[in-house]
Amino acid sequence: MLFHVSRLLQEPVGTKRWYELQAEPPVHGGKATLTRTPTGVLVEAQVDVVLEAECSRCLTAFGYPRRVNIEEVFYQQVDVHTGTPIETEADTDNFFIDRKHTIDISEAVRQYEVMAAEMQPLCRLDCPGICAQCGRDLTESACACTGPPIDPRWQALEALKHR
């Protein structure tokens, strides 16, 4: 997801550019607005992604859609005319326009995806998961186990009864 901004960097602060995002996994669409700022380019993007996940109940791999809203300044490192380095207050946590005046939002998308991901994803809301006793995937078929697992302390009592 590259944007070439050498032209935009020659425009006055406040100049905007609008883009439609091309599908490029995990992105399947979206749009971005780039605005020239005093220190670089502000990227505001609504990105539709498919997040890869593993069901927290049955461990099946699946994907689910999410929209992430990115808002980040990409700092300018070199002068667009002369290529000389520009002093910047940005540190290594910030995003940068590369020396060829290109913005790559892939890493920003990746970071925002992590924030947008479900803590306990489910392949479907009523996923029955895996039987805690026999380990069978209950989505495929029911198992013969009944009720909750037997507490080992009750098993000891049962054993006493049958002496």
Give the distance from CA 157 to its chain's centroid: 51
Closest approach, Cβ 98 to Zn ion, in A, equals: 41
56 lines the binding site for Zn ion (CB under 5 A): no
58 lines the binding site for Zn ion (CB under 5 A): yes
Closest approach, Cβ 155 to Zn ion, in A, equals: 17
Whose tokens are 């100049």? That residue is 15
131 lines the binding site for Zn ion (CB under 5 A): yes
127 lines the binding site for Zn ion (CB under 5 A): yes
Closest approach, Cβ 70 to Zn ion, in A, equals: 30
Cα(118)–Cα(84) distance, rounded to whole angstroms? Answer: 44
Size of the site for Zn ion (CB under 5 A): 10
Tell which one of 34, 55, 73, 103 touches Zn ion (CB under 5 A).
Answer: 55
Cα(80)–Cα(5) distance, rounded to whole angstroms? Answer: 9
34 lines the binding site for Zn ion (CB under 5 A): no
Please classify residue 96 by burial: count the beta carbons closer than 10 Å to its beta carbon, then call 0-12 exposed, 13-18 middle and 19+ buried: middle
| 113 contact partners, CB below 8 Å, separation of at least 6 | 26, 49, 51, 66, 68
Return residues touching Zn ion (CB under 5 A): 55, 57-58, 123, 127, 131, 133-134, 143, 145
